[in-house]
Amino acid sequence: MTVNNAHHPAFRAIRSEFVDALNVTVQEYEHVVTGAKHFHIASENDENVFLVGLKTVPTDSCGVAHILEHTVLCGSERFPVRDPFFMMIRRSLNTFMNAFTSSDWTAYPFASKNKKDFRNLLDVYLDAVFFSRLDPLDFSQEGHRLEFAEPNNPESELTYKGVVFNEMKGAMSSTTSVLWQAVTKYLFPSNTYHFNSGGEPTDIPDLSYDDLMAFYRKHYHPSNAVFMTFGDIPAEELQAEFETKVLSRFDRLEDKDRVSVPNAKRYFSPVRVEEGYAADEAKEDGSHVVMGWLLGESIDLSQQFEASLLSSVLLDNSASPLRRALENSDLGASPSPLCGLEDSNKEMSFMCGLEGVRRENAPQVEALILSTLENVAEQGVDQDMVEAMLHQLELSQREIGGDSYPYGLQLILSALSTAVHSGDVIAQLDLDPVIERMRNKVREPDYIPNLVKGLLLSNAHRITLTLSPDEALESLRNQAEKDRLSTIKAALSDEQKQYIVERSQALKARQEQVDDMSLLPKVGMEDVPAKIPEYDSEVLEASLPVTFYPQGTNGLVYQQLVVDLPKLTDEETRVLPFYTSLLTELGVGEHDYLAVQSRQAQVCGGISAYSSIRTEIIDKQRVNGYFVLSSKALVPNAQDMTQLMADTFVAARFDEISRIKELVAQRRARRESSITGQGHVLAMSAATSGMSGLAAQQEAWGGMTGIRSLIALDDALKQGDEALETLRQTLESIHAKMQATSKRLLLVAEPHHKESLLTVVAPVWTAVENHEQVTTFSLPAVDDTVKQAWVTATQVNFCSKAFKAVAGEHPDVAPLTVLGGFLRNGFLHRAIREQGGAYGGGATFDGSSGAFRFFSYRDPRLLETLSDFDASIEWLLTNDHSEDALEEAVLGVIGAMDKPGSPAGEAQSDFFLQLHGRTKAYREEFRARVLSVTLDDLKRVATLYLTKENENTAMVTAGSNKELLSQAGFEICTL
């Protein structure tokens, strides 16, 4: 790869290094005047990425950095419109746009494959970050404000509103978030990590607009910034934009004015603390016990990788000594979600513990962890395990990602903390020398024991936190907020009341103003790629048919065994998700699960299993289903990976009863803790569950109904052997049926590895018999109406309405798909987020179940939001709308369709789309229909499908709303 190392005269070059494992060149520059750093990752990849990161160091939990992140994106000097961020989402073909607030930095990233679009977004982001308007009304909207329940009536109840205020109420409804904040509060007694950078809901109302402005002036300066870019646009071109648009207007900050993060004061002896979290009921075994150690600085790469290796050796999989002790302990239900190394802060921390613990057993959990560490320090660990962890590090270094975040953004984020804290970014990205040095060090038998002693056992800066359920906490917290508001209201003068009323009116007027959109750059239909990508593949002859996709995978091979799902009984269908999650976590043949976990770590990047089920294009009540066994490995390990996959598929051990019981308990803990993070998805699943057999089954598997069933199963397994034996027999029955059906293989690798891979892969699978499929998986048709309210421990709500519509290849699927973005852009974003105070809301169409779905996320309101859903339909039908608004909605759909993934991910997606009948011709026809949607089409499908008789409603909410919702006709559902 030839790289242009030229740079703009305003910058000086510091270093440039080619990283062979990533096939990129990392270039480091510094702006001469301000000292701003620019790291450019030069690549042949045409998905260009930009990020500007700023060191932001809160000194309290008022959420100033987080609220500033939101408010910065509400208009700037060159783009004085009210909401340029969300407007640009609509006017762009971006593959990623967002902003992040971390514990000690704030970042503004975006990505695009379109050069014009990239430069448009660069203009808007640079101006937003460094020349933000920061209007006081935007602070009121995004941060917090006082408002009367009836905005024009000062005698009505006083309330708090604000997007971040409600976002953090939702975030802090998650027990895992509460646990993290409690651990860091005590682990970092004296610096910025002591505080909640997102903001505690109790503290957010203490933040003033003047505080926000002071924080902006101190932190948002180029001398405190790092620019990071990735892609095929040369660094010189990017630097010209930085200099012209931003840097030429700033001088360098003096050292005394620069933001820094002091190290935390160290403890001389361990600390033990207790706190509570809100729960529906105070279960005796509902406590979390977590131990945490404060380690060295993350920018010291030697310390970072030693800590990372130690964490992996102790906790990576079930055969790792500390995870094994935690999983096998009767003291708790499962390992804590906080287990592992946190190295994104300036100072690293290591944590481990158990959840589902009786409060009085906390000392025993601490003793278990310490005794396990002492045992490792005395006896060491198997050398194969240490080598396996280095293998995992090498595999992760070489893998080209991009399925969740753009690949370039993944690389940038992996180095961002190091860049912010003035560490060696190139060394952080080039792990091969580090791996080689570590490989030499680990040959010493005392290496891991000495790390355990030095980093953990002899480290006095240690805490043990016990976090226990408190069923009174939520009501006490709500009452405290009401009392605070009552006190404030009682002290308000008539002038102050009038000010609140007038500010509410001013904010409403600002939210409803029509901005001059021409002030913002845009892409148009002419910038939309004409066709979707085409992927080469060929079917190779072997004992099992092999479909091979040649893709640039940087020395990795991806393999999947794809099995036609057979006909299953109702009980087998119910248990199918447990089969897929348990299969790769159990023993194989003569080897127990511990040996298999070790073997997986040594030869591949783990093995996973899942089911791929989609409705047929011609009938949403009929499905196609496949079971998939998947893995990846470095090409030299392809044969060992294949053998392990085949062994797992043929000889999985369902006789490991205690392991099955333990894994179900872990699954329950993960699902329960995830509710408030994905409440909108769960609400939509419930609302859609009456629309097809697959939608009903997806709710029974993964929705609130599925979580309730999982809780019941876990409780039954704890009560006796009968339920465990029934589950084991059902798993065995499913497994036998999987053996007796049709199978095929999918391989993705670089083209020159095709023949050698087939040579080592094909012989292994000859031991797996292929059968002609006799029976096929099916689900009973479902057509019901739903009106449910699921209650759980949450401070905010998640609302959804779903309307029955058409599916598959029906021509109305295209306008229904465009309609979701049109309603969000034109009405729902303003009504639900800006005016209603929810963190998010919108509409989307599910073409598989034929459901048009409205949703809100972390919402302070309930029935009012449902009314807003209806009002958006009325808005659509009773108003004239512009062609520009239609174009924005169409661009949003096309952008989502064209979003790139990893090389392997794109090949796998193409394979399964075709397997499910979504051929390239079908996708191109749908694309053409989307591009031809008219405003009349939108009104027509809304009139036809978004009607009361097609309406279904569901929400996830707090128990305190049960009476209100029951009176409104909702079925009240509990876990």
Give the number of residues written for the chain. Answer: 975
- Cβ–Cβ contacts within 10 Å for residue 961, how many? 19
* pLDDT at residue number 215: 97
Give the phi and the psi of residue 841 in degrees, each rounded to 5.
-175, 160
The pLDDT tens digits for 440-450 are 899 898 999 99
**pTM higher than 0.85 for the full model?**
yes
Clarify whether residues 246 and 166 are in a common domain.
Answer: yes
The pLDDT tens digits for 223-235 are 999 999 999 999 9
Clarify whether residues 141 and 221 are in a common domain.
Answer: yes
Clarify whether residues 202 and 290 are in a common domain.
Answer: no
Q: Please name which of 905, 843, 869, 746 lies closest in space to residue 400, comparing C-alpha atoms.
A: 905
Clarify whether residues 324 and 296 are in a common domain.
Answer: yes
pLDDT above 60: residue 1: no
- The two three-digit tokens of residue 648, written as one number: 């797992």
Q: Are 743 and 770 in contact (CB under 8 A)?
A: yes
The pLDDT tens digits for 444-484 are 989 999 999 999 999 999 999 999 999 999 899 999 999 99
Which residue numbers are catalytic?
69
Q: How far apart are CA 556 and CA 536, in angstroms?
A: 18
C-alpha distances (whole Å) from 125 to each of 78, 104, 144, 515, 696 are: 11, 20, 24, 18, 43
Q: How far apart are CA 140 and CA 136, in angstroms?
A: 6
Q: How far apart are CA 165 and CA 837, in angstroms?
A: 8
Question: Residue range 945-972: average pLDDT?
Answer: 96
Q: Are 168 and 195 in contact (CB under 8 A)?
A: no
Clarify whether residues 256 and 384 are in a common domain.
Answer: no
Clarify whether residues 279 and 256 are in a common domain.
Answer: no
Q: How far apart are CA 625 and CA 614, in angstroms?
A: 7
Q: Are 565 and 742 in contact (CB under 8 A)?
A: no
How wide is the angle at C-alpha 871 spanned by C-alphas 866 and 873, nearest 5°?
110
Q: How far apart are CA 911 and CA 154, in angstroms?
A: 61
pLDDT above 80: residue 407: yes
**Long-range contacts of 757-761, Cβ-Cβ distance < 8 Å, separation of 24 or more:** 757/548, 757/557, 757/635, 757/638, 758/540, 758/542, 758/546, 758/548, 760/638, 760/639, 760/642, 761/542, 761/546, 761/559, 761/638, 761/639, 761/642
In the block, which residue shows the tokens 């402005």?
A: 213
Clarify whether residues 141 and 30 are in a common domain.
Answer: yes
Q: Report if residue 954 sits inside a domain.
A: yes
* pLDDT at residue number 12: 97
Q: Would you call 959 exposed, middle or buried from its count of C-beta atoms within 10 A (0-12, 13-18, 19+)?
A: middle
Give DSSP secondary structure letters for 925-936.
HHHHHHHT--HH
Q: How far apart are CA 220 and CA 228, in angstroms?
A: 16
Residues 6+ apart with CB under 8 A from 102: 197, 344, 417
Residue ranges of alpha helices (H) inside 807-919 are 813-823, 863-878, 883-898, 903-915
* pLDDT at residue number 656: 95
3-state secondary structure of 318: coil
pLDDT greater at residue 254 or residue 246: 246
Q: Report if residue 165 sits inside a domain.
A: yes
- Mean residue pLDDT of the chain comes to 95
Clarify whether residues 223 and 250 are in a common domain.
Answer: yes
Residue 664 pLDDT class (50, 70, 90 cuts): very high
Pairing status of strand 105-112 against strand 24-31: unpaired
Q: What is the DSSP letter of 774?
A: -
Residues 6+ apart with CB under 8 A from 476: none
Q: Report the share of the chain in percent with pLDDT over 70.
A: 100
Q: Report if residue 436 sits inside a domain.
A: yes
- The CATH code of the domain that includes 403 is 3.30.830.10
Structural domains of the chain, count: 3
pLDDT above 80: residue 918: yes
* pLDDT at residue number 3: 66
Question: Residue range 705-731: average pLDDT?
Answer: 94
Q: Report if residue 673 sits inside a domain.
A: no
Clarify whether residues 433 and 509 are in a common domain.
Answer: no
Q: Are 221 and 181 in contact (CB under 8 A)?
A: no
The pLDDT tens digits for 764-775 are 999 898 888 778
Give the phi and the psi of residue 902 in degrees, each rounded to 5.
-70, 160
Question: Residue range 205-233: average pLDDT?
Answer: 97
Residues 6+ apart with CB under 8 A from 216: 68, 72, 132, 134
* pLDDT at residue number 769: 87
Range of the domain at 178: 26-261+497-519
pLDDT above 80: residue 4: no
* pLDDT at residue number 611: 97
- The two three-digit tokens of residue 291, written as one number: 């131990």
3-state secondary structure of 871: helix
3-state secondary structure of 290: strand
Residues 6+ apart with CB under 8 A from 570: none
pLDDT above 90: residue 658: yes
Residue 2 pLDDT class (50, 70, 90 cuts): low
Q: Which amino acid is at 931?
A: L
Give the phi and the psi of residue 572 in degrees, each rounded to 5.
-65, -40
Where does 471-618 show beta strands of DSSP type E? 538-540, 546-550, 556-564, 607-616
In the block, which residue shows the tokens 């060394």?
A: 427
Question: Residue range 121-132: average pLDDT?
Answer: 97
- Cβ–Cβ contacts within 10 Å for residue 380, how many? 18
Residue ranges of alpha helices (H) inside 689-802 are 693-702, 704-719, 721-739, 754-765
Helix axes 321-328, 657-673, angle to 10 degrees: 90
Clarify whether residues 211 and 276 are in a common domain.
Answer: no
Q: Report if residue 692 sits inside a domain.
A: no
Q: Are 895 and 93 in contact (CB under 8 A)?
A: yes
Q: Which amino acid is at 672?
A: E
Q: Report if residue 347 sits inside a domain.
A: yes
Residue 530 pLDDT class (50, 70, 90 cuts): confident
In the block, which residue shows the tokens 């990161």?
A: 53
User: Residue 942: enclosing H or E segment and its boundaries?
Assistant: helix 935-945
Q: How far apart are CA 837 and CA 843, in angstroms?
A: 17
Q: How far apart are CA 299 and CA 695, in angstroms?
A: 48
Q: Report if residue 611 sits inside a domain.
A: no
Where does 158-201 show beta strands of DSSP type E? 158-161
Residue 106 pLDDT class (50, 70, 90 cuts): very high
Clarify whether residues 342 and 229 are in a common domain.
Answer: no
Q: What is the largest CA-CA distance in the chain?
A: 85
Q: Are 187 and 352 in contact (CB under 8 A)?
A: no
Q: How far apart are CA 904 and CA 260, in angstroms?
A: 41
Q: How far apart are CA 888 and CA 524, in angstroms?
A: 8
Q: How far apart are CA 305 and CA 344, in angstroms?
A: 13
Clarify whether residues 199 and 286 are in a common domain.
Answer: no
Q: How far apart are CA 60 and CA 62, in angstroms?
A: 6
pLDDT above 90: residue 322: yes
Q: Report if residue 32 sits inside a domain.
A: yes
Phi-psi region of 947 (alpha: psi -120 to 50; beta: other; left: phi over 0): beta
- The two three-digit tokens of residue 283, written as one number: 């279960």
